[in-house]
Copies of this chain bind each other. A is one copy, B any other.
Amino acid sequence: MVKSEKIGSYKVGKNVEIGKNVTIDKTASIGNNVIIGDGVYLGRNVVIKDDVIIKNNVMIEDNATIGYDNLTKKKEIYEEYPTIIGENALIRTNTVIYKSCKIGKDSWVNHNTILRENTEVGDNCTIGNLVMCEGYTKIGNQVAIHSLSGLGGNMIIEDKVFIATNLVTANGRRPTYLRNMPYIKDEGPIIRYGARIGISVILLPEIEIGREALVASGAIVTKNVPPFSIVMGVPAKVVGIVPDDERL
């Protein structure tokens, strides 16, 4: 490991450890209390904020920000951890990962995506482009969330869930004027193991999508979906059962 004082022309804070075979663009910036593993790549204008751990062979592309810390609310309920990017993870251009997020190993977060505080992504996941996750959300392993999805926060997404483009989820039954109110931790929906969600689906809060259920494109899901069922429509109704040969 190399102490931060020995680093070249990029900006670097205090208490920084950097591994071997690391490539850091001279325009990158590294904050305080940062650990960077072996073989890491940090592209142009990458900003690593304070209290970040970047494991071996991570690739962080141009203009991405890791450990973003300009939190403007929720301070009272916010749980603070180091931000962790797992081995071999790929963070593509312009993406912002807030502080206290955790990205699992071999996971990709694509371009122009925002993951707010306390978003936890498992291993072997793909988070698409132009995705917004409001945070306080736990995503399992081998999950795919496609582009232009907006996750309202306070969700649980279990392993092997597949989410197509433009899923939108809510985490409050009645919209409210958040800037004036005490922060209430509403619950987003829960998506169980291996469930599959088509394009442009809407999930209301507090509902549960059962194990390996299939939600058809364009469905508005207003209540729980039983395991292995196929739902469709506005509002979504059960129209069938996932056949055996499509089960995990």
A227 located at the interface, meaning its Cβ lies under 8 Å from any Cβ of chain B in the complex: no
A179–B126 CB distance below 8 A: yes
A234 located at the interface, meaning its Cβ lies under 8 Å from any Cβ of chain B in the complex: yes
A210 located at the interface, meaning its Cβ lies under 8 Å from any Cβ of chain B in the complex: no
A54 located at the interface, meaning its Cβ lies under 8 Å from any Cβ of chain B in the complex: no
List A residues 17-50 near B (Cβ within 8 Å).
27, 29, 44-45, 47
List A residues 202-248 near B (Cβ within 8 Å).
202, 204, 214, 217-218, 220, 233-234, 246
B176–A150 CB distance below 8 A: no
- Assign chain A's interface to a size class: 35 or more
A191 located at the interface, meaning its Cβ lies under 8 Å from any Cβ of chain B in the complex: no
Segment at the B interface, from A1-9, A76-84, A128-136: A128-136
A44–B47 CB distance below 8 A: yes
Indicate whether A177 sits within 8 Å of B162 (C-beta atoms), given known contacts A45-B62, A47-B44, A72-B108. yes
A148 partner residues in chain B, CB cutoff 8 A: 130, 132, 148, 150, 168
Partner of A179, one of B124, B128, B150, B200: B124
B162–A175 CB distance below 8 A: yes
Partner of A152, one of B70, B165, B176: B165
What's the Cα separation between A74 and B173 when bound, in Å? 41
A218–B217 CB distance below 8 A: no
What's the Cα separation between A82 and B200 when bound, in Å? 34
What's the Cα separation between A166 and B203 when bound, in Å? 13
What's the Cα separation between A111 and B200 when bound, in Å? 22
Partner of A130, one of B44, B130, B162: B130
What's the Cα separation between A169 and B59 when bound, in Å? 30
A65 located at the interface, meaning its Cβ lies under 8 Å from any Cβ of chain B in the complex: yes
Q: Which of A110, A169, A177 has the most CB of B within 10 A?
A: A177
What's the Cα separation between A148 and B152 when bound, in Å? 11
A101 partner residues in chain B, CB cutoff 8 A: none
A168–B169 CB distance below 8 A: no
What's the Cα separation between A96 and B63 when bound, in Å? 12
A27 partner residues in chain B, CB cutoff 8 A: 27
User: Nearest-CB distance from A162 to chain B (Å)?
Assistant: 4
17 contacts between A and B (CB under 8 A): A47-B62, A63-B63, A63-B94, A72-B90, A72-B108, A94-B112, A114-B129, A114-B130, A126-B178, A152-B165, A169-B199, A174-B196, A175-B196, A175-B214, A200-B202, A202-B218, A204-B217
